[in-house]
Amino acid sequence: MTPALTTEQGAAGAPAGAPAVRLSHVHKSFGRPGSQTHVLDDITLDVAPGEFVTLLGASGCGKSTLLNLVAGLDQPTGGTIEVPGGRPALMFQEHALFPWLTAGKNIELALKLAGVARPERRPEAERLLELVRLNGSYGKRVHELSGGMRQRVAMARALAQGSKVLLMDEPFAALDAITRDVLHDEITRIWAERQLTVLFVTHNVREAVRLAERVVLLSSRPGRVAREWHIDLPQPRRIESAGVADLSIEITEELRGEIRRHVQH
């Protein structure tokens, strides 16, 4: 099986009807032959344009590895990954902002790398800061920003890359519950306004159910698609709402079962 990663982009982005992300029989192993660690095993998954999908699973199941493969930061050992609209934008768990740059200049750097002309960068950076509700924060240094504000800047920087596919690797895990709740509202709003395709990694079941149109549960290592849930609860959702809570209980039981199977083996 020959591994491949396709990020070809036509003038109009992905072809009509094509998935925004397609994974076909993806495998990933680390180490040398004979002493390899198998992290992902035969992952096949399509993400439709405009869909919000969360990847859920126990620690070490390969969620972040899978996201890195889709981002093009690593290559699969086997199978194919197609992102017809071009390279996705990636938002990490840590904000990874440059502390010697202001909030606005961090975003401008991403715009520069995306090929935006110099005269257009500041207005676009300010527009993106407004989008994430950080009006007037262009000149603030990183140390002047709270944890939630830093993640908003990181979100704006990811959006500055111009991709319609946004990959998010547990971006709110380090935040307090209230800040995380507010940012759930923000990413849901931005996803809808900009018609993004979002692939969101989390280990938090309620977060997965609150945000997603579809939850994909990965088995414990090696990660396989164990089960999927299509979420038909209306947006915006509350993390404490009955529908979110009920479905979270069901998914948590499935997750516990996957963890028990891994321990037994």
* Cα 10 from Cα 261, distance rounded (Å): 44
* Cα 154 from Cα 202, distance rounded (Å): 17
pLDDT of residue 95 exceeding 80:
no
Over range 169-177, report the average pLDDT: 89
pLDDT of residue 6 exceeding 60:
no
pLDDT of residue 33: 77
Residues 125 and 101 sit within 8 Å (Cβ to Cβ) = no
* Cα 83 from Cα 200, distance rounded (Å): 16
Confidence band of 264 (pLDDT split at 50, 70, 90): low
pLDDT of residue 12: 36
Confidence band of 242 (pLDDT split at 50, 70, 90): very high
Residues 38 and 29 sit within 8 Å (Cβ to Cβ) = yes
213-234: pLDDT as tens digits: 999 999 988 889 999 999 999 8
Query: Does the reported pTM lie above 0.85?
Result: yes
187-210: pLDDT as tens digits: 999 999 999 999 999 989 999 999
98-155: pLDDT as tens digits: 999 999 999 999 999 999 999 999 999 999 999 999 999 999 999 999 989 999 999 9
Query: Within a 10 A sphere around the Cβ of 82, how many other Cβ atoms?
Result: 20
pLDDT of residue 5 exceeding 60:
no
Could you give the angle at the alpha carbon of 139 between the alpha carbons of 137 and 140, nearest 5°? Answer: 65
pLDDT of residue 2: 38
Over range 81-105, report the average pLDDT: 90
Confidence band of 1 (pLDDT split at 50, 70, 90): very low
* Cα 214 from Cα 54, distance rounded (Å): 6
Confidence band of 262 (pLDDT split at 50, 70, 90): low
68-79: pLDDT as tens digits: 999 999 999 999
* Cα 13 from Cα 11, distance rounded (Å): 6
Confidence band of 265 (pLDDT split at 50, 70, 90): low
Backbone φ and ψ of 166, nearest 5°: -115, 125
pLDDT of residue 14: 46
Over range 35-39, report the average pLDDT: 84
Confidence band of 16 (pLDDT split at 50, 70, 90): low
